[in-house]
Structure 1
Amino acid sequence: MSDIRLLIVDDDPFIRESLKMILELDPEITVEGVCTNGEEALQFVQKHGGINVVLMDIRMPVCDGVEGTRRIKAYNPGIAVIILTTFDDDEYIIEALRNGAGGYLLKNVAPDRIIDGIKTVARGNVLIHPDIAKKLTVFLKPSDKTPNAKKSLAEYGLTVSEQQIVEKIADGLSNKEIARQLHLSEGTVKNYITDILSKLVLRDRTQIAIFYLKL
């Protein structure tokens, strides 16, 4: 049985079926179903247990990807959602991430990039392409009166080590990569992240990344 049980959500039947055919070629991915909007997606995950990743178009009738993400994450925070779109829309990206999306991909990227992105988010990592991270940083650019990120993180009670881990998460690194760069065990990194989430009153790694980019 594959590790990733995927739901594809897109109002374009050609894209739905094309993605299904491509993604099912990977032995680690099982496409459990396809839906045409966010409301259908919520109903599908409620009816079919075991879905752990949703690949979600951002602009759809009835219920778009931003609202669909919010509803699915409210129902089951453990389901990872990846926003997939042809639209380069900053506000949609921000809102989807705020609603709990674990990443963002453009539909015109190569199929192997989509597969890699799905696996990255399924492992609990944040999928934010460097170019998109730069755009988010500009979009969330603070005023001149806002203190620098390190000072702000310290004001929230984060230790120097915790601040370093927040920065690495915002860069899209996995726990394993963070552990290697900071010469820590993966278990120690996980413990740090648990403490960071508690101190910042956040839900997951995606929110940590957004929090840091805001600063």
Structure 2
Amino acid sequence: MNGTLNNVTSADKIRIHLVDEDGYSRSAITAQLGEASDLALEACFNTVEQSLTQKSFSAPDILLINILHPDLLSDHALSEAVSTLPETKVVLLTMNPSMDVLDDAYDSGIAGVISKRMVSAGLPNYIRAIAEGYWLFIRPETGGPCAAEPLREGLYKHYLRNLETADQEIVRYVALGLTNAQIAKEVHQSEGTVKKRLFDILAELGLSKRVHLALVACDAGIVRTKDLLATLAEDLRLGA
């Protein structure tokens, strides 16, 4: 059942619509988001389809889809949400997403996948980060790798941990969602140099996408969620 929540005032707040058919988890998420003065949870829906066909609200800033296991949600549903709400950041909240799930979600065009094992650190912080333009496709920090090729992931970690400091910084900024131009500014190199070095790193790892590099960088400890949140906090401070 879908419904309006507390007649919230959405002006100057991050407007959120929640898709969650489980009453218990919906209550927990509602309570956590309700503690944040800059977030407005406008409505809850049982299904993605309901959230896309409703007429009571304009498109939200964030469509948060909570599901027990990502395999239960079709790629079509995610793609439809992205295409129907082009100005909305679609976010998936799920349990123990694998690298394949994160990869598929990234390809669908959504803004992020948040593991429920990370929510204890503060769901509002992740929502703010995504609303600010960061993409978040990071596996839980408290567990081991989920992929089916642990040996290969071990090689990834060894390679990344032994990179020169300058190259590790480039990889770290990729994992934080920065563009090549933004990375070049941070590391005081030309954009062409950054692009070439990233191409070489991806080739040496046998990876084809930036999101793959971001995932293995997180697993290798090159970047962690706290880095993302610290970066967001600094951006907000400078923008104040």
- The question of a shared fold, defined as TM-score above 0.5 by the shorter chain, is answered with yes
2:60 is paired with a residue whose SS is coil
1:35 Cα offset (Å): 1.1
Contact 1:81/1:103 (8 A) holds in 2: yes
Please, which runs of 5 or more residues in structure 2 have no aligned partner?
1-10, 153-167, 192-208, 216-240
CA distance in 2: counterparts of 1:4 and 1:179, whole angstroms: 30
Q: Among residues 30, 39, 42, which one is paired with 2:52 in the alignment? A: 42
Post-superposition shift, 1:71? 0.9
**How far apart, CA to CA, are the structure 2 residues paired with 1:83 and 1:18?**
16
Alignment partners' CA distance in 2, 1:166 and 1:80? 26
Which letter does structure 2 place at the counterpart of 1:95? D
Structure 1 equivalent of residue 102 of structure 2: 93
Cα distance in structure 1, aligned partners of 2:74 and 2:68: 6
Select 1:182's aligned residue among 187, 196, 200: 187
Deviation of the 1:173 alpha carbon: 4.1
* Alignment correspondent of 2:34: 24
Report the Cα offset of residue 75 of structure 1. Answer: 1.2
Contact 2:118 2:140 in 1 (8 A): no
Q: Is the partner of 1:67 in helix, strand or coil?
A: helix
Instruction: Answer yes or no: is the 8 Å Cα contact 1:24–1:30 preserved in 2.
Output: yes
Q: What residue number does 1:156 align with?
A: none
Structure ID, larger Rg: 2
CA distance in 2, matches of 1:166, 1:39: 40
CA contact (8 A) 1:37 1:64 kept: no
User: Aligned pair in 2 of structure 1 residues 20, 174: CA closer, same or farther (>3 Å)?
Assistant: farther
Q: Aligned equivalents of 2:98 and 2:125: distance in 1?
A: 22
Q: Counterpart of 1:210?
A: 211
Percent identity at matched positions? 17
Residue 53, structure 1, aligned to residue 54, structure 2: no
2:14–2:38: 8 Å Cα contact kept in structure 1? Answer: yes
Aligned partner of 1:9 in structure 2 is 19
**Alpha carbons of 1:90 and 1:182: their partners in 2 closer, same or farther (altered >3 Å)?**
closer
Question: In 2, Cα distance between the equivalents of 1:111 and 1:65?
Answer: 27
Q: CA deviation at 1:130?
A: 6.2
Partner secondary structure for residue 74 of structure 1: helix
Does structure 1 conserve the Cα–Cα contact (< 8 Å) formed by 2:78 and 2:108? yes
Kept in 1, the 8 Å contact 2:171–2:214? The answer is no
Distance change >3 Å, CA 3–CA 180, structure 1 → 2: farther
Letter in 2 for 1:182: V
Measured in 2, the distance between the counterparts of 1:112 and 1:75 equals: 31
Equivalent residue in structure 2 for 1:171, among 175, 195, 208 = 175
- Offset of 1:109 from its aligned partner? 2.7
Match of 1:109 among 99, 105, 118: 118
Cα distance change on mapping 1:42 and 1:50 into 2, 3 Å: closer
Q: CA RMSD in A?
A: 4.4
Structure 2 residue matching 1:55: 3-state secondary structure:
strand
Distance of aligned partners of 1:179 and 1:7 in 2 relative to their CA distance in 1, 3 Å threshold: farther
Report the secondary structure of 2:136's partner residue: coil
- Mapping 1:105-144, distance limit 5 Å: 105-129=114-138
Asked if the contact 2:111–2:135 (Cα under 8 Å) also holds between the matched residues in 1, the reply is yes
Q: Point out where structure 1 has 5 or more consecutive residues left out of the alignment.
A: 142-163, 190-207
Query: Is the partner of 1:84 in helix, strand or coil?
Result: strand
